[in-house]
Amino acid sequence: MGLRENKKARTRQEIAEHAMALFVQKGFDRVTVAEVADSVGISEKTVFNYFPTKEDLFFDELPRREAALIDAVRARANGESVVATLHRLQARDCTRLASPHFAVFARIIEESPALQAKEIEVMARFTQVLADVIVAELGARPIDAKIAANMLIGVHWELFRSARAGALAGRTGPTAVRRLRADLDRAYGLLEHGLGSLEAAP
């Protein structure tokens, strides 16, 4: 990036970090964008130049995660399925989702109906983005791509919610990571081999 782009990226990161510190301290719903702006020493308008909504301040990594989703499909190895590619991508997230830091993140979401509503919006966007890239990269029919994207993002979302429930229950660390990966493997096994293998848990 050039100097201007670097400066903008640093400003965006600074705003997000100050916002998260306030959310941790006070809870998402009790923090205003004006407070975030004051903590950084900028105007409220400047905050909105970087983040369209207050919810975007909390989910500040979404552009990066969306880009990673697209890049994973586009850059997958020859012969590797989209299912296998996204399985690998999400498996790397399990350590982060079982960390004490994520437990703080989970608590803030659990306390905020606004963030829970934003989560639904985010997953809908991820589904559409994934469907679009499946059509573009695989030449799939749009309806097939949308069905596949709904199932794949459904796994992603369920992993996120399961990790959140575990974090709120105090389950973090290596044991929690293994549990998340086992659940993820099972979910992707169902997608890879068909729901005909769905059965009662042993």
> How do residues 104-147 score in pLDDT, each as one tens digit?
999 999 999 999 999 999 999 999 999 999 999 999 999 999 99
pLDDT of residue 196: 59
Q: Do the domain assignments include residue 47?
A: yes
Q: State residue 51 phi and psi, 5-degree precision.
A: -135, 110
Longest dimension (CA), the chain: 57
Whole-model pTM? 0.89
Q: How many structural domains compose the chain?
A: 2
Q: Do the domain assignments include residue 188?
A: yes
Res 85 pLDDT > 60: yes
Give yes or no: residues 47 and 67 share one domain.
no
Output the six-digit token pair for 17.
């970090």
Burial bucket for residue 157 (CB in 10 Å: 0-12, 13-18, 19+): middle
Who has greater pLDDT, 97 or 192? 97
Domain that holds residue 46: 3-52
Q: Do the domain assignments include residue 202?
A: no
Alpha-carbon span 12 to 7, nearest angstrom: 9
Give yes or no: residues 109 and 180 share one domain.
yes
Give yes or no: residues 29 and 68 share one domain.
no
Give yes or no: residues 43 and 76 share one domain.
no
Output the six-digit token pair for 42.
């900028």
